[in-house]
Structure 1
Amino acid sequence: MPESPAMKVTVTCDLTGANVFPLEVNNDMEMENFLALCRFEIPVLNDVPMSQLKIIHNGHTVNVNANNLKTTLNDWKIYDNDIIVLVADMPTTSSIQPQFSNTLITDLVKSIRVPQDSMRRDKNLKDSELAQLRMLFDGLRNSAERRNRLRNVVPNLVAAVDQNNFDMFKMKYIAERQSAFARERAMLDPTSAEGQRLIAEQIQRENIDFSHQFAMEHMPEAYIPVSMLYIKMKINGVEVKAFVDSGLFD
């Protein structure tokens, strides 16, 4: 019988995507063995019985039970490059439930920065926020370099500064803020397909940042222009031009 193809999946118990674990598995692996592997990689789930785990995949939440533990990843329609979120469903009658739930929730949302005044999400700004926004506007208006650095990040805000239009700048800022709040809500909703898409994007950005940092450390010549250095020298009385290896400068 030919061996089933290997595939790479990403597992997390953090709905923000900040803590992820890439795994290489086969599509015929039973869910019981897959969860055992995941629990080994995710310490916070070590003490959670498999029957109290929930699997979130493609916007659907499924409770683990004795019937589906013996089904394969292929039966679950888990394929190459998929993202799987594992969360614990502790029984409400358990005396240890509040303590565990608090710990797990802390782990899940520790990297999300939610504004203290999270209930106030209307279009009004506090005086302190408005003053800071004016300072930001003036700072960008007086620095072409800062505008150019941010042009690809927040193009709408920079466009308002280019037009010297503070009212437009404020309106675009409020829109960006509302969009950020919406993304946070989606990422904290385990049943949201949009939230899973945002998590996948964040994971991809983190992988790109890591790859770039690794390349800059180990292969800087791929990003930094390198000048070819030649020197005149004599070898056995013969004048030659020698090339200096840039590795000598490490």
Structure 2
Amino acid sequence: MKITIMTADEQIITLDVDRDETVENLKALLEVETQVPLQQQQLLYNGKEIRNAEKLSGLGVSDGDLVMMVAGVSQSSASTSAMGFNPDGSAVNPSAFQQHLRNDSNLMAKLFQSDPELAQIVLGNDLNKLQEILRLRHKQRAELLRRKDEEMALLYADPFDVEAQKKIEEAIRQKSIDENWEAAIEHNPEAFARVVMLYVDMEVNSVPLKAFVDSGAQSTIISKSCAERCGLLRLLDTRYRGIARGVGQSEILGRIHVAPIKIGSVFYPCSFLVLDSPNMEFLFGLDMLRKHQCMIDLKENVLRVGGGEVAVPFLHEKDIPSRLLDEERHAKEASVSDAQETLGSKGKSNTPTGGPSGRSSQSLSEGTNFEAKVTKLVELGFGRAAVIQALKFFDGNEEQAAAYLFGG
């Protein structure tokens, strides 16, 4: 393993040593490198002096660790106060420790390679954050050492001990997970970053808002409060109330059959389900994405509408109001992957001949072959929500529903 030695005069030495090497032999190597006699050397690890007879493995020294070397009593005292560590891994004098690292360009270069997060904090001005990450690194080293000790113990375990074999199997599995995690950190670090969902600027009935673009939601959704703000609540058709089931479920208050939305400089007709969901404002779903031939272009980071006639950029995180950042979870809960809309008994909807008789979707769903009809029509290329609605309009008559869908 390789360890880094920092001397009192800020010299950096990297040595390749065996983990079972004694401290005395390490000092002998340092005597050749620094010309400081072995007897005058004092080595510090995690702020504590390490003795000649101790082995590096027994002290917990691992690959890439830093060991301080001081020579003479006065130097030892000064270095310990500046570079020493508390039992929890934090620096005794964080300001001196930070300044010491900043003054050594070689050490900072090594630190940027081995631990860029710590290097950035060292260059910052938050000493509390520096102490926190030093404690974290100390805890990580202790955990790694504990695991290695457990692995060593398992090597000598009774091969006929069932519990020991289970632990060995778990250790092998965990090692594979850790190696996979390390490979991801190196080759795919962006996978650990937070992914901001897709938002674009739109106008609904001349009211500007941030629209959440979600191709995983079957229907376009607007909240009751947003519909009211846009002056559309007066058009709410409550005959289409019901339940929207996605990850969770929300109450469908009704439907607004058509209203103008403006994307870029072009107006498009749009229909909405109105949900009683105060945490979700406006979701642009698959129904309108398909109707208006939209393309989600992630290479150019734009939403193309009308087959490409309009292109609007997706918003950067800084342009999305903080109140909307939690909207993604609520939108998924409200996304209409399975909507049950209940037509009221008052009046009839505006449909072709053979319209609804007033029965609820619940009664239709209870038919043994209803789901088979839905599946058959979905296989023809129609959306599930549209198929369910068409079957409701025609009291479950598959032929009439198909004719209506093809005619639409």
Q: TM-score, normalised by structure 2?
A: 0.21
Between the two structures, name the one with larger relative contact order (CA 8 Å, sep ≥ 6): 1
Answer with 1 or 2: which has the greater Rg.
2
Q: TM-score, normalised by structure 1?
A: 0.33
**Which structure features the higher share of strand residues?**
2
